[in-house]
Structure 1
Amino acid sequence: MARRLSILKQLIFSTVNNYLIDYLISSNLSYWWGFGLLAAIRLVIQIITGVSSAMYYTLHVDLAFLSVEHIMRDVKGGWLLCYMYANGVSMFLIMVYLYIFCGLYYGSYASPRELVWCLGVVILLSMIITAFIGYVPSRGQMSSWGATVITSLASAISVVGDTIVTWLWGGFSVDNATLNCFFSLHYLLPFIIAGVSILYLAASYQYGSNNLLGINSSVDKIALYPYFYVKDLVGRVAFAIFFSIFVFYAPNVLGHPDNYIPANPMSTLAHIVPEWYFLPVYAILRSIPNKLGGVAAIGPVSVSLFAPLFINTSYVCSSSFRPIHQKMFWLLLADCLLLGWIGCQPVEAPYVTIGQIASVGSFLYFVITPILGKLEDRLINTSSGEGKLPCFFVTTSIMR
């Protein structure tokens, strides 16, 4: 027995040493690579605060809103749980959005990291679904009507649309059956996300991390500890300060005021707005006058996250050495921010027109990128006087 415990202890310590201390990683990683770890920390905090809050939550349409108020006012430390959980969703998605855009800029989707990118996109889409269905159990006025509007979009599908809506609601309106269904899924999905995150980490260790230059960095690696441990610690402290400001000084700034009113199905809101992290997609959805067309537009938005795997035609991975693509990237980022602003505006002129132009612009990036890749490669090969070279050699020639 003592021998087995000794072997188990040795296995644990060797695993920790190989993957958390002596693990070799590219020497030129910046603070942008710390968002992945911050997102993992946020996931753990969300699970802990979510499970703790669920212990006092009452799963009934007539009592759900009151139970949340009970947690806030009567449970010792309940206000901290609720504020950490509510603001943690936004912090989690901020980390993942920044991580995705960072990967898009530095070409983290390029071979051999295709699986890593796909798993990251799956985590993001799962988080968005989890955030939406977790918005409903609070039973605020905005969350109730938001769930009604979003789920009823399925009615635009011919023949089976109404059946799908009835199935999602568990009846003929957003009622107790809907609340039970959404709460159960919201409780389950974070653990599934945690499982996919483990696969993501395994794939990252298998295929290695990308780096600022987007080149093969196997010739210049250093141990994870202590250099990157201390470097990431700076990011974790900065994030803790940023998160604490929201939790302790501005806990409701990211929420909508109408969601602090108990849900009332007899009183329709004049302007229904989702949470901020849904606003770009919501702007695209409502920019199409046809209801079915708006629903159909959600599919391409999700698929476009996988598109870089198939539309990348450049031998240079990092946008740092692709000046034209770099400008296109910043235009895409600005376009997404514009869509987010449009999504919270009333459905009237000129916001509808601006939203339509911005929606087309967001998809144009994925149309123009393959052309840019070939054009930039031709310019690089011409300037370097060399043929088509792998990413490592092309980048090296640029640096010369």
Structure 2
Amino acid sequence: MRLLKTHVLLRFLNSYVVDSPQPANISYLWNFGSLLALCLIIQILTGAFLAMHYSPNVDFAFNSVEHIMRDVNNGWIIRYTHANVASFFFIFVYMHVGRGLYYGSYKSPRVLVWSIGVIILILMMAIAFLGYVLPYGQMSLWGATVITNLLSAIPIFGVDIVELIWGGFSVSNATLNRFFSLHYLLPFLLAALALAHLIALHVHGSNNPNGVTSNGDRYAMHPYFIFKDLVTIFAFLLVLSVIVFFYPNLLGHSDNYIPADPMVTPASIVPEWYLLPFYAILRSIPNKLLGVLAMFGSLLILLILPLTDLSRIRGNQFRPAMKLAFWFFVVDFIILLWIGSQHPESPYLEIGQIATTFYFAWFLVLVPIIGIAENTLLDVATADKTNK
């Protein structure tokens, strides 16, 4: 029985990692999958070691993190690695999603792969938010208070849901225990979804830069693409080492090195940098309920992209109008990231509202219109060719 299980596991690894046929023309932009897998492994391992010394108690949480940093052998390396890989996780996932948008990886027959990927992105954000609360610094406490309070905008049950999450009437010891438990357990669900993502991808194989089928020109995953992945993996480990050893707080917030004080409100309450675009969307809408719906809608709208992209051409390689629209979207996303870090006052509020409007218009208006226009031009060109 044990030999049978080993045989099945080896066949699975051989099918997905060794002999898996990949399009010959995929570029380094297809390496983000392996980088994300490495980030997930690092996060689970470092998280397990940190959990051995962390105390999920409002009186001891901050000091337990300092204990890890100062007293545990090499604890500072584990903690800084965990914190910085979280940022790289989001850098890679945003670039992975961007590559999918540019090359049309969301189109049939890969709709399931895309949908699982969007669910993974949403779950990643939830896990990151839970983890940001655990050090229990000033930004942790007030970030948790503000973000969880958003659910109070839900009619009728909103306040009850917030109190259920808190385990009381404010962010307290019960809240910290719940967040710690979820932050520890949810990455294993994330790993399961990542495996499902890989299995769904294996059914039809990877997309390629040209957007056309390339069944006749494929190479085995090993050794060709394994060694190609190792190039970016080693580059990532080099950059990560430089940041951990020399600039460990480059991507963090200084206020989180101040112990949480419920009596002192920080001058500016902001989440981690990778959540800022969605925080900007939330703040750009004056109505609280509509702002919350817009924030969650900005993620869920990715799921309808296979329906709104009406073009018969896959990817942007041969679509100049859509290529330009894509880069406008990238700039808009960066603007939202910047706006999320600013105080909600003029002119940042107005800029955020314009950027939010464009964000949703890109999915609901720009993508369908460009697709319809391209299809019309294709039909005209085909008719002219037929007449000739």
What's the TM-score, normalizing by structure 1? 0.93
2:371 paired residue number: 373
CA contact (8 A) 1:106 1:317 kept: yes
**Which stretch shows the higher mean deviation, 210-219 or 158-167?**
158-167
Aligned partners of 1:66, 1:240: CA distance in 2, in Å? Answer: 29
The CA RMSD measured in Å over matched residues stands at 1.6
Shift of 1:91: 0.8
| Cα 1:318/1:62, change in 2 over 3 Å | same
What number of residue pairs does the alignment pair up?
385
CA contact (8 A) 1:25 1:221 kept: yes
Shift of 1:296: 2.0
Aligned partners of 1:18, 1:215: CA distance in 2, in Å? Answer: 23
2:111 paired residue number: 114
2:60 paired residue number: 63
Look up the SS of the partner of 2:310 in the other structure.
coil
Q: Deviations over 1:88-112 (max 9, x none)?
A: 1111111111101100100001111
Look up the SS of the partner of 2:56 in the other structure.
coil
Aligned partners of 1:38, 1:120: CA distance in 2, in Å? Answer: 15
Shift of 1:7: 5.2
Q: What amino acid is the match of 1:227?
A: Y
CA contact (8 A) 1:134 1:186 kept: yes
Look up the SS of the partner of 1:52 in the other structure.
helix
1:322 paired residue number: 319
Aligned partners of 2:288, 2:123: CA distance in 1, in Å? Answer: 24
Q: What amino acid is the match of 1:205?
A: H
Matches for 1:39-54 after TM superposition, within 5 Å = 39-54=36-51
Aligned partners of 1:336, 1:387: CA distance in 2, in Å? Answer: 41
What's the TM-score, normalizing by structure 2? 0.96
Aligned partners of 1:355, 1:236: CA distance in 2, in Å? Answer: 35
Look up the SS of the partner of 1:306 in the other structure.
helix
Consecutive unaligned residues in structure 2, runs of 5 or more: none
Q: Does 1:24 align with 2:21?
A: yes
| Cα 1:291/1:11, change in 2 over 3 Å | closer
Aligned partners of 1:49, 1:320: CA distance in 2, in Å? Answer: 40
Q: What amino acid is the match of 2:367?
A: T
Q: Does 1:173 align with 2:170?
A: yes
Q: Does 1:164 align with 2:147?
A: no
Look up the SS of the partner of 1:255 in the other structure.
coil
2:101 paired residue number: 104
CA contact (8 A) 1:381 1:387 kept: no
Q: Does 1:193 align with 2:194?
A: no
Q: What amino acid is the match of 2:64?
A: S
Shift of 1:9: 5.0
Look up the SS of the partner of 2:155 in the other structure.
coil
Q: What amino acid is the match of 2:234?
A: V
Q: What amino acid is the match of 1:62?
A: D
| Cα 1:159/1:387, change in 2 over 3 Å | farther
CA contact (8 A) 1:120 1:200 kept: yes
2:134 paired residue number: 137
Shift of 1:385: 4.9
Aligned partners of 2:130, 2:341: CA distance in 1, in Å? Answer: 20
Shift of 1:384: 5.1
Shift of 1:386: 7.4
Look up the SS of the partner of 2:219 in the other structure.
strand
Look up the SS of the partner of 2:251 in the other structure.
coil
Aligned partners of 1:386, 1:277: CA distance in 2, in Å? Answer: 49
| Cα 1:7/1:280, change in 2 over 3 Å | closer
| Cα 1:321/1:174, change in 2 over 3 Å | same
Q: Deviations over 1:283-313 (max 9, x none)?
A: 0100111222211212321221112111121
Q: Does 1:223 align with 2:210?
A: no
CA contact (8 A) 1:166 1:172 kept: yes
1:250 paired residue number: 247
Q: Percent identity of the aligned residues?
A: 50
